[in-house]
Amino acid sequence: MRDTTLCRWQRWRVAPVHRPVVDRFVRPRPAADPADRAEVPAADGIRHGLVARVRREIEAGTYDTEERWLAAEEKLLRRVCEGA
C-alpha cells in the first residue's frame, strides 16, 4: 500500500492569491521628469540624472511605496503562475 501522509513539500506548498490592488497608503508621487527618459547614458554607461532623482526619492521616503511593492508582488506571482 501507498503511504498517504503528507510530505514536507506538500505541507508548505503555497497557492497564489489573486486580490485586487488596494492603496491603503496614498503618498504623493513625484512627477516623472521627461528629461530622465530622454537622458542618454554617459561614457561610463550611467544615467546620472536618473541616479540623482532616485537618490532624492529614497531620501524623501517616496521611492518604496506600497503601490510599487504590490505591483512587484503581482508581477512576481504572475510570472510564477505562468511558469508552472
The pLDDT tens digits of the residues spanning 45-65 come to 999 999 999 999 999 988 888
pLDDT at 39 > cutoff 80: yes
Q: How many alpha carbons fall within 13 Å on the CB side of residue 24?
A: 4
Look at residue 75 in the predicted model and tell me its pLDDT.
93
pLDDT at 14 > cutoff 70: no
Specify whether the CB–CB gap between 17 and 82 falls below 8 A.
no
Grid cell for residue 38? 530622454
pTM of the model: 0.44
Specify whether the CB–CB gap between 38 and 44 falls below 8 A.
no
